[in-house]
Every structure is written in structure tokens, then in C-alpha cells.
Structure 1
Amino acid sequence: MNWLKLGSKPVFVTVLADKQVKIGENFSLKCQTNTERITVTWKKKDQTLCCVEGKHETVKDGKSFSLKITNADPGDEGNYTVTIQNSSGSASCSAMVTVELSEWRTVQWKQEPMTKKLKNFGICSRDVKELRFLLYGPVGAGKSSITNTIKTIFEEHQYINCLAASASTGKSFTKKLEKYSVGNVPFTFFDVMGLEKGSEGVHPHDIISALKGHVPNNYEFKENVPIDKDNRSYIVNPTLNDQIHCLVSVIAADKIILMTDEVIQKMRTIRAEASILGIPQVVLMTRVDEVCPMTKQDVTKIYQSRKIKEKMTMCSNILGVPMNCIFPVKNYHEETKPNEQLNCLMLEAFTQIVHSADDFVKKNSNQQKTVE
């Protein structure tokens, strides 16, 4: 290191740029400095990069420095940092490399055919006037925002009447079993208080009672005092039309790792009871743009994202839900104008929810007729 001379602190003339690359692609991260006499260190995810022969190559060309990576694979995704240093100081800059996977699930990115099909949808049983979906999950997961988004799609104007929980307060705006009809289609969402640790939030037995049709619309939940037969609001003999036809678990992609064991266990208890009742279950994984820069920039890349697939796998492992029943979605949040791509992503999930609910109604309607 005796070649280093006392001088000014090195600075970057150009910095590393974020990269979005495809599987198998070769790419480079490049920067330029104001001096040649520096040491250069490359890191990935805050760990010194161990260059593999045939995979990584560091190049110095005068004041330009680059890291070349061959045959991109999912393991190459991450944050890369280069640090330049001399006896007078150091400087660093970073770039995010995102690797696009081969598309592992397809989406129809045309809204009109999907909305038309749903608007013309006919429930298989005349005894059921509307398909009923119950949204539940931790506080701040986006249950109310999902209702807002779907109503916005079908009612063709920005719908914000369903208040969403604030991430900063960690408290649910929803205090009752609130019913939200969707435009002129026979679909209804029911929103409940969020699940919380301890005795706070909705009690799992209240959600189970709602699944069975025992809880009336606008019933105000009481923390740690679940509804029972002694409650005058309790629906003693619910019909198929009173029951929930599909249970929708809502989990925020950026908060999965923060979920407490207690909340997870509550969700598992509810899911187990729904399974006994034969009620179909779907998971909507919200806030996908918060965990994947590629998806935030272009939502049509969602099923090419390693981060999204990792979060879906994590969600599957935590709740025991098959991957094909988990749908990553994005809600309207900052947007004030319609977004067809956002709508299509939600409609893909909603179409599955509708068909699952209708299958449940058909099965149970046939069972009732057999008994009669």
C-alpha cells in the first residue's frame, strides 16, 4: 500500500445504477471515480463479495471500475456496494440488482373480459341471493383497502368510504361486522376487526360464528366477549344464504415476518374450523409493492419476482395454505385514477374467490335438497 499518497478524499464521478436482469443474462455494475490511486472493495448484502471464477470479475480501467457477473441466477439478486478508499478517506455507493424469474403464473392483463364475465355471473342456487366473502387478518393488513379496491373496479369511481387501519396506530377502524355490496353484481364482502395479540381485536370465535351465519350485519364486536346463543343478536338457525361462502385471509407482504405467534395461531384456529365446515379459503397478500422494487415499478412483473415468490412461500408455510390459493395483490392507496394493471391483478384473485364460493354453495345446496 506504499503507493498511496496523501491527497484529497476520493469521490464518485458516476455511481452504480440499479439493474433489472433476466435469468441467464450477463450484466455489469459500473462506476467512475476522480482518481486511480484507490483500493476498491465490493460487497453484497453488507458482506464482502467472494468472487467465484467464471461467475464474477472485477475490472479496473483507469478511473473506471466494474463488477461483471455472468449467467444471472436468483442468487445474484441483492444490494451491491462498492467502497473506494485512500489515505484521506473513503466513499461508497450501492445498487439493487433484481433478477426476473421465468414467469411462473400468468395473468390476463385486459380488464374488460374479466369484469364482463363477473357482471354476468349467475349463482348456481336460486336459494342464495349473493355470494358472501369474509375478510379477516391482522390489523393493517389491508382488509378494508381490498373492499375499497374491488368496489372502485366495479363502481367505476374511486371508492374510499371503507376506512382502513393506520399502520402507525396498529388499531382497527372496523368495530362491527360490516357488509359491503359490490355494484350491481351478487357479491358481498364482510369486514371485521383485525386480529391482535392478547384479548384485543376480534375474538376468533366471533369470526367462526360469522362463518356459520350466526352473526348479524352491523353486530358490534366486544373484545374478549365472543357472541353466543345467549346474545339476543345471535342468529340461531342460519340458512345457506346467511353463511359465509369463502374465507379470505389477508396478510401484508411486508409484515409477514412481524406477525406474532399468537396472531398466527388465531388464524390457524379460524382456518381449521373453516376446513371442518368445508368453506373454501383464499389468501390475498397485499402491499406487494413494498417488498419488491420491480413489482412497484411494473406490476405485470409480479410473477417473475423472486421476492414475491419467497413471501408467498413464507405465507404458505405459516398458514398451511397451498401456493395456488395465495394471490399477491396491490390495493389503491396513492392512486386517484383507474389503473388497469392493478385492477387485473385484483380481478384474477377475485374471480377465483367467486368460483370457489359458488362451488361451496352448489355442494351445500345439493346436500340440503338430498336431505329434504
Structure 2
Amino acid sequence: MEIFNMIKSKFVTPFVTPPSGPPSEDDKPWRPMNWSEDGQNLLTTVTNFQPGNPEVNTLRILLHGPQGAGKSSFFNSVNNAFQGRISTKAQANSSDFGRSFTLECKTYKVKKDRAGSFFPFMFTDIAGIHNVGIGIKTEDIIQLLKGHINDGHTFNPVKQITEEDPKYKNNPTLKDRIHCLVAVLPANTVSLIDEDNIRQMREVRKKARDLGIPEVIIMTKVDEACPLVKDNLEKIYTSKKIKQKMQECSVKLGVPVNCIYPVKNYHEERTTNTTVDILILDALKNILNFANDYVEDQVDSQNAI
């Protein structure tokens, strides 16, 4: 028996527990969020928000990004947070059929009460960016930034809008312009986005910068990008994966990380969720502040002339 054990010990490799990989989350949140209190505080803050200048009583926010990134779903999620229920005001596509589900330039408002009043902001949703010759033309998005395109315009992938088009506005004022440009990128597939699409988004961002329009990124589908966050959404600001994805978005478009907001859009849920709402409302609060700053800067510049 002793000889047998000696032979066995020579040829049988003992089981050793493999070393664990690097930790998937930081010890402390790298962006503080009070999950127990911020929900009601954010809802109150955004509900009471009013533009600082009477010349522009409604702030205009443009959503743009690749097809299937979650632009329409982000607006629906904003609407859900205020209505306290699931809504589908902006039609979102659940599958990728090779083209954007949003074909027209559509503007959406969020209802404030049953009397029919609305919050002082609106979202403009446009067709998703495709490869050249398939989706919305970059020149049309730039015209939209300047306030030249009215709601309801159907984009032509081979011909940009002209001054003769009935949906073209010749002399837009400050209230007609876009006041904040919001790029929507999916966290789970941001690495796979076609470089031509990224190039088009960079061109739009550069023009927005030249016009002084603030830009932010809404990073969607965080639950599909990180198992830790899928199990517990409150781990979003300790997740190293989410932080990495935000940095990747920053590099691709040149938007600083502090202007990138990771969110989970409502998709499969049948009821609203406080944690989902907190992330949505936090992003919206900052978007409104940036848009309001832009309007006030433009008015100050005009008055200085």
C-alpha cells in the first residue's frame, strides 16, 4: 500500500483552486448617488424646473445615435418616470431590421398634469445613423441643430433638405434651435459600432461645439453590458465594466466622462422602478441645466452686441 501511494502521488496532480480574476467592482462609488433619498429629490427638482430666460419657455433636446441604441426608449423612460407607469409614446423597435424605426423628425413633450399642461422641455427624435446612403444625412442633423427643420419632416437618405421644402424654416430664432445635443450609445455593443457611424456622430458633435450647443452621452443597455449591474442596478457606479464602457464612449466621441450618464431604459418591465427612475432623472436634470446654460449664454451674447 505504501508503494502504491508513492506512485499515486508522483503521477496524480493535486487539485488547486484557480486564482480568482480581478475584482469587478470598486470598493467605493466613483460617482456618488444616494439611492434611498435621491429618487424623490430628483423628481421634485425636475418637476419644478423652469427655464431661466422668458424668451425660451421650452428647451429643445435632440436625441441622435446609431440605430437600435435606445433613443426612443430613453424618451419613453423619461415619460415613465413622470407618469409613474409604463408608456410607449415614442414608438421603439424591439428588433433590428436593418433600418431605423424612426423615419420622421418627431418632437415629444411630457405631460405635466391632467389639465393638459406640459413640462418646459421637449425631445426631438430622429432616424438612427446608418452607413452613408442609407440613413439620415449629417447635413440634415446640422440643419436641425440650427432650427431650420420643423417637426414632421421625413428625412431623405439620398438628398438633404432644401429651402424649398415646406418643412424648412428660413429664419429660426433661439427658441427654434436645439439647446442640448444628446448622443445615445449602447454600452453592450459600443465597441462594435461601425466607424463610419462614429465619424458622422463626431461631425455632428463638432458642429454643435462650433455653435456652442452642449453635448452629453446617454449610455444605455448597462444591464446587458455588466452582469453585476444586471443583478443589482445600484452597483452601476462601482462597476469597473461600466466605468470602462463610459471611458470608451468618451474616446469615441470626445465627450468628457462627467457628461456621460449610464442608464437602463425600460424594456421588459410592466411597472416602474425607483432605481431605474433615479438614473433617468439624474441624467435629465443635468441635460436641462446644460440646455438652460446655453440659452442664457446666447441671450447674454446678443445683449452684449
User: Is the TM value for this pair above 0.5?
Assistant: yes
Gaps of 5+ in 1: 5-35, 41-58, 70-75, 78-96
1:357 and 1:170 map into 2 onto residues whose CA distance is 33
Instruction: Report Cα offsets for 1:55-103 as digits up to 9, x if no partner.
Output: xxxx74xxxx53455xxxxxx33xxxxxxxxxxxxxxxxxxx7344531
1:143 aligns with 2:71: yes
Instruction: Report Cα offsets for 1:249-279 as digits up to 9, x if no partner.
Output: 0000111111111101100100000000000
1:107 aligns with 2:41: no
Residue identity matched to 2:72: S
The answer to whether the 8 A contact 1:291-1:307 is kept is yes
1:333 and 1:292 map into 2 onto residues whose CA distance is 17
Per the TM alignment, residue 117 of structure 1 is displaced from its structure 2 partner at its CA by 1.1
Residues 39 and 217 of structure 1, relative CA distance in 2, 3 Å threshold: farther
Instruction: Report Cα offsets for 1:36-58 as digits up to 9, x if no partner.
Output: 99967xxxxxxxxxxxxxxxxxx
Report what 2:81 is aligned to.
153
Q: How many aligned positions are there?
A: 291
TM-score, normalized by length of structure 1? 0.74
Report what 2:111 is aligned to.
183
Residues 369 and 254 of structure 1, relative CA distance in 2, 3 Å threshold: same
1:219 and 1:151 map into 2 onto residues whose CA distance is 23
In the TM superposition, what are the counterparts of 1:1-372 in structure 2 within 5 Å?
A: 60=15, 66-67=17-18, 76-77=21-22, 98-109=24-35, 110-184=38-112, 185-371=119-305
1:364 and 1:197 map into 2 onto residues whose CA distance is 34
Per the TM alignment, residue 157 of structure 1 is displaced from its structure 2 partner at its CA by 1.9
Select the structure that is richer in helix.
Answer: 2
Select the structure that is richer in strand.
Answer: 1
Could you tell which deviates more after superposition, 207-216 or 167-176? Answer: 167-176
1:107 and 1:205 map into 2 onto residues whose CA distance is 39
Residues 38 and 142 of structure 1, relative CA distance in 2, 3 Å threshold: farther
3-state SS of 1:157 partner? coil
The answer to whether the 8 A contact 1:131-1:354 is kept is yes
The answer to whether the 8 A contact 2:81-2:280 is kept is no
Larger Rg: 1
The answer to whether the 8 A contact 2:234-2:275 is kept is yes
Instruction: Report Cα offsets for 1:175-216 as digits up to 9, x if no partner.
Output: 111011012221100000000012111111111111100000
3-state SS of 1:165 partner? coil
Residue identity matched to 2:239: S
2:253 and 2:12 map into 1 onto residues whose CA distance is 49
1:341 and 1:325 map into 2 onto residues whose CA distance is 20
The answer to whether the 8 A contact 1:252-1:285 is kept is yes
Residue identity matched to 1:66: T
Per the TM alignment, residue 224 of structure 1 is displaced from its structure 2 partner at its CA by 2.2
Identity score, percent: 38
TM-score, normalized by length of structure 2? 0.90
2:25 and 2:42 map into 1 onto residues whose CA distance is 30
Per the TM alignment, residue 370 of structure 1 is displaced from its structure 2 partner at its CA by 3.3
3-state SS of 2:43 partner? helix
Q: Which aligned runs of 4 or more in structure 1 are off by greater than 4 angstroms?
A: 36-40
CA RMSD of aligned residues (A): 2.1
The answer to whether the 8 A contact 2:73-2:92 is kept is yes
2:108 and 2:143 map into 1 onto residues whose CA distance is 19
2:289 and 2:194 map into 1 onto residues whose CA distance is 32
Residues 297 and 235 of structure 1, relative CA distance in 2, 3 Å threshold: same
3-state SS of 2:219 partner? strand
The answer to whether the 8 A contact 2:151-2:167 is kept is no
Could you tell which deviates more after superposition, 276-285 or 102-111? Answer: 102-111
The answer to whether the 8 A contact 1:282-1:353 is kept is yes
1:37 and 1:223 map into 2 onto residues whose CA distance is 71
The answer to whether the 8 A contact 2:152-2:167 is kept is no
Residue identity matched to 2:190: I
Residues 163 and 37 of structure 1, relative CA distance in 2, 3 Å threshold: farther
